[in-house]
Structure 1
Amino acid sequence: MSLETVVEDIRDEARARAEEIRSDADERAEAIVAEAEADAEEILEERKRAVERQIDQEREQKLSSAKLQAKQARLEARRDVLSDVRESVERRVATMEEGREELTRALLDAADEEFDADAEKRVYGRADDEALLADILADYDNYEYAGAIECLGGVIVESEGSRIRVNNTFDSVLEDVWEDSLRDVSSHLFDQ
């Protein structure tokens, strides 16, 4: 074998080895690139899922917040309507003419049951009802009109001797009726 043949064999071997190394390197590079692309795709998909979860969560929070605001607005509107109804009832009671004397007498009779028969009783009422109260009290013994109070009508009766004070104003009656009937009134108005 000649030196040239040996050199050529070494060169062929080196070229084959270089090609093998290059082929292995290309395969490893392709594997690394494929793995990196797969990792990148997985990271991208995870980020997409995370963004979608965050969007869903924010959407749910905004929807819940909007529902709460709507509910609060609805409740406030209902309170306003109930307040308007109450004010309307109070105006009608305050200006009521028909039945006012009978109702005032009934409230005075109910208050009278709380006192001893011979007790001196003072009666307070609405300023606009002073003449009405004077006429009514003329029919009762041991009663005197003691002055005006701020109310829709009715009477407050008190006796210093027994230290009793009975609030039978239209306001107190309306308050009791309102509290007892509020659920029915609300149901009727808002048709729940």
Structure 2
Amino acid sequence: MSLDTVVEDIRDEARARAEEVRADAEAQATEIIEDAEADAEAIRDERAEEVEATIEQEREQMLSSANLEAKQERLGARRDVLQEVRATVEDELTALDGDDREELTRALLDAASEEFDGDDVRVYGRADDEELLTDLAAEHGYEYAGERDCLGGVVVESEASRVRVNNTFDSVLEDVWEDELREISTRLFEDQ
């Protein structure tokens, strides 16, 4: 074998070895690229799920907040309507006159008088009702003692027995309002 043949064999072997190394390197590079692309896809999917979850959470929070705000506005509107109804009732009680006012005031004074026996009973009421209260108090043997800031009715008290009965239209309205608020609200807002 000649030296040229040996050199050529070594070169062929070197070329074959180089081709083998290059093929291995390309295979490793392809595998690394495929792994990197798979990792990138997994990361993209994970981030997309996180973003979707964040969007859903924020949407739920916004929806919940909007529902709460709407509920508060509805309750505020209901409260305003109830206040208007109460103000209307108070205005109508203040505007009562004649026989209706006398009948109601008499009934309230009669109910209050059950708490008293004896003299020195004083009756207080609305300034505009002074004449009516003076007459009604005299019928019971009581004294009209002055005005109270109220819609009507009577406040009756006695120093001797240290008793005070508040039978004003205001107190009766307050009691009825407290007892019937649910029913009033139901009737006003039954379709909502």
TM-score normalised by length of structure 1: 0.97
In the aligned structure 2, how far is the partner of 1:160 from the partner of 1:138? 18
In the aligned structure 2, how far is the partner of 1:190 from the partner of 1:108? 36
- The answer to whether structure 1 residue 181 and structure 2 residue 180 are counterparts is yes
- The answer to whether structure 1 residue 115 and structure 2 residue 116 are counterparts is yes
- Shift, 1:138, TM fit: 2.5
In the aligned structure 2, how far is the partner of 1:15 from the partner of 1:96? 119
Instruction: Give the letter for the 2:114 counterpart.
Output: E
> 1:39 corresponds to which residue?
39
In the aligned structure 1, how far is the partner of 2:113 from the partner of 2:72? 46
Give 3-state SS (helix, strand or coil) of 2:146's partner. Answer: strand
Matches within 5 A, 1:148-187: 148-187=147-186
Structure 1 runs not aligned, ≥5 long: none
Instruction: Give the letter for the 1:107 counterpart.
Output: L
- Shift, 1:119, TM fit: 3.0
In the aligned structure 1, how far is the partner of 2:140 from the partner of 2:56? 75
> 1:70 corresponds to which residue?
70
Which string of whole-angstrom CA distances, capped at 9 and with x for unpartnered residues, describes residues 90-121 of structure 1?
000111124110111111111111112x2310
In the aligned structure 2, how far is the partner of 1:138 from the partner of 1:178? 32
In the aligned structure 2, how far is the partner of 1:114 from the partner of 1:138? 17
Give 3-state SS (helix, strand or coil) of 1:145's partner. Answer: strand
RMSD: 0.8
Question: Runs of 4 or more off by more than 4 Å in structure 1?
Answer: none
Give 3-state SS (helix, strand or coil) of 1:175's partner. Answer: helix
- Shift, 1:131, TM fit: 1.1
In the aligned structure 2, how far is the partner of 1:157 from the partner of 1:138? 13
> 2:90 corresponds to which residue?
90
Structure 2 runs not aligned, ≥5 long: none
Matches within 5 A, 1:120-135: 120-135=120-135
> 2:2 corresponds to which residue?
2
Which string of whole-angstrom CA distances, capped at 9 and with x for unpartnered residues, describes residues 59-82 of structure 1?
000000000000000000000000
Give 3-state SS (helix, strand or coil) of 2:116's partner. Answer: coil
- Shift, 1:188, TM fit: 0.5
TM-score normalised by length of structure 2: 0.97
Instruction: Give the letter for the 1:149 counterpart.
Output: R
In the aligned structure 2, how far is the partner of 1:16 from the partner of 1:181? 102
In the aligned structure 2, how far is the partner of 1:115 from the partner of 1:139? 14
In the aligned structure 1, how far is the partner of 2:160 from the partner of 2:138? 21
> 2:144 corresponds to which residue?
145
Point out the more displaced range, 27-36 or 129-138.
129-138
> 2:61 corresponds to which residue?
61
What fraction of aligned residue pairs are identical, expressed as a percent? 67
Instruction: Give the letter for the 1:172 counterpart.
Output: S
